[in-house]
């Protein structure tokens, strides 16, 4: 696998002021002898693009898995996440975050196709381009696809098109009194950011299956404290991000992106773990009434943070199979 860290200029793609860049890592097969299917990965809240390329232990890199099977894989940091630029947190909305991600995808695909994206890498044509969003990334991908029609297919991983919430040990669901989408969070930030949250036991039950590798699981849980300034994304948690857009707290509300979900008209994959933030995976197709092709995949012995699970290759295989079935359309600027 060949990997390249890049900054993508998205200045002017949103209503945000100033010059802005997103951070991506482009992972390519060691050899590319023809057009490649391209997967774009957008991480969840508290995680960065290296969630898709965990190298702490062997066998945990989703990017390496896909490139070994003939895909290009582009891992993306949202604005205000990981190594991307950090505009005013309270100025970030679903819409402008999605617009920046769309601009990122178009720039990457165009640059790959004409050979200007990466010095020394000749032009690489692509077949289908498929976006995949995990958790918060799934929310923003929903808005991106509805508003910009970026991808030939979209995969929602641990994200519900109806109502994302947490599983409880007794089989019920945990919901939290989060502000609704569009709420001005600046005046109430000290009341909600880092305060209206699941507790540690909720995170452990929802995020990680008990048989996971302790070196990864315990490091992740010990530092997952959104909006508290906890160090994350360092050598001990390279998959993490210390920063999360404020609007992420509004995503765990009923119907947060239901209108956008219903507008998606390309193939959809809904995938998650046996224990995840989808209240009923089998009801998810009702959220995507604009598509003619929807697949549901539930992976056993897997919780919300799929790439830590010992069964992780099952969801990776499902993504690959889905992507290979998607008919190609060109990403639109």
What are 134-185's pLDDT values in tens digits? Answer: 999 999 999 999 999 999 999 999 999 999 999 999 999 988 889 999 999 9
Residue 151 included in any domain: yes
- How much is the pLDDT for 195? 72
Residue 131 lies in a domain: yes
Q: Does some domain include residue 74? A: yes
Listed in sequence order, the residues at least 6 apart from 239 whose beta carbon sits closer than 8 Å to its beta carbon are: 47, 48, 50, 51, 54, 220, 233, 307
Q: Full-prediction pTM beyond 0.85?
A: yes
Residue 285 lies in a domain: yes
Residue 17 lies in a domain: yes
Checking if the pLDDT of 332 tops 80, the result is no
Is 154 among the domain residues? Answer: yes
Are 209 and 301 a contacting pair, CB within 8 Å? Answer: yes
CATH code, domain carrying 75? 3.40.50.1820
Q: Is 332 part of any domain?
A: no
Instruction: Return the structure tokens found at 307.
Output: 């790439």
pLDDT tens per residue across span 244-301: 999 999 999 999 999 999 999 999 999 999 999 999 999 999 999 999 999 999 999 9
| Residue 331 confidence (pLDDT) | 46
Across the chain, how many H-helices and E-strands are there?
8, 10
| pLDDT-based confidence at residue 95 (cuts at 50, 70, 90) | very high
The domain containing residue 34 runs over which residues? 2-325
Split at pLDDT 50, 70, 90, the class of 322 is very high
- What total of structural domains would you count in the chain? 1
Residue 132 lies in a domain: yes
């Amino acid at each position: 696998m060949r990997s390249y860290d890049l900054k993508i200029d998205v200045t002017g793609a949103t209503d945000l002021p100033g010059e802005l860049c997103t951070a991506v890592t482009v992972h390519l097969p060691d050899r590319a002898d023809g057009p490649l299917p391209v997967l774009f990965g957008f991480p969840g809240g508290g995680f960065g693009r290296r969630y898709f390329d965990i190298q702490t232990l062997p066998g945990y890199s989703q990017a390496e898995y896909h490139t070994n099977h003939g895909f290009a894989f582009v891992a993306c940091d949202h604005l205000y996440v990981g190594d991307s630029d950090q505009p005013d947190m309270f100025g970030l909305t679903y819409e402008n975050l999605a617009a920046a991600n769309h601009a990122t995808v178009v720039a990457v695909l165009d640059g790959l196709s004409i050979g200007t994206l990466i010095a020394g890498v000749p032009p690489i044509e692509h077949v289908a381009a498929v976006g995949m969003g995990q958790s918060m990334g799934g929310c923003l991908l929903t808005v991106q696809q509805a508003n910009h029609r970026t991808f030939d297919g979209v995969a929602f991983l641990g994200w519900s098109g109806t109502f994302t919430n947490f599983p409880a040990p007794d089989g019920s669901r945990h919901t939290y009194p989060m502000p609704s989408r569009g709420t001005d969070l600046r005046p109430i930030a000290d009341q909600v950011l880092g305060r209206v949250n699941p507790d540690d036991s909720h995170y452990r039950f929802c995020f990680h299956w008990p048989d996971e590798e302790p070196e990864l699981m315990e490091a992740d849980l010990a530092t997952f404290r959104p909006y508290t300034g906890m160090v994350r994304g360092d050598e001990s948690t390279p998959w993490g991000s210390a920063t999360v857009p404020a609007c992420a707290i509004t995503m765990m509300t009923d119907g947060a992106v239901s209108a956008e979900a219903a507008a998606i008209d390309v193939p959809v994959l809904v995938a998650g773990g046996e224990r995840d933030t989808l209240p009923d995976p089998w009801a998810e197709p009702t959220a995507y009434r604009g598509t003619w092709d929807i697949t549901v995949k539930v992976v056993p012995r897997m919780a919300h943070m799929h790439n830590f699970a010992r069964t992780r290759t099952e969801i990776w295989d499902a993504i690959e199979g889905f992507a290979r079935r998607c008919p190609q359309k060109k990403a639109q600027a």
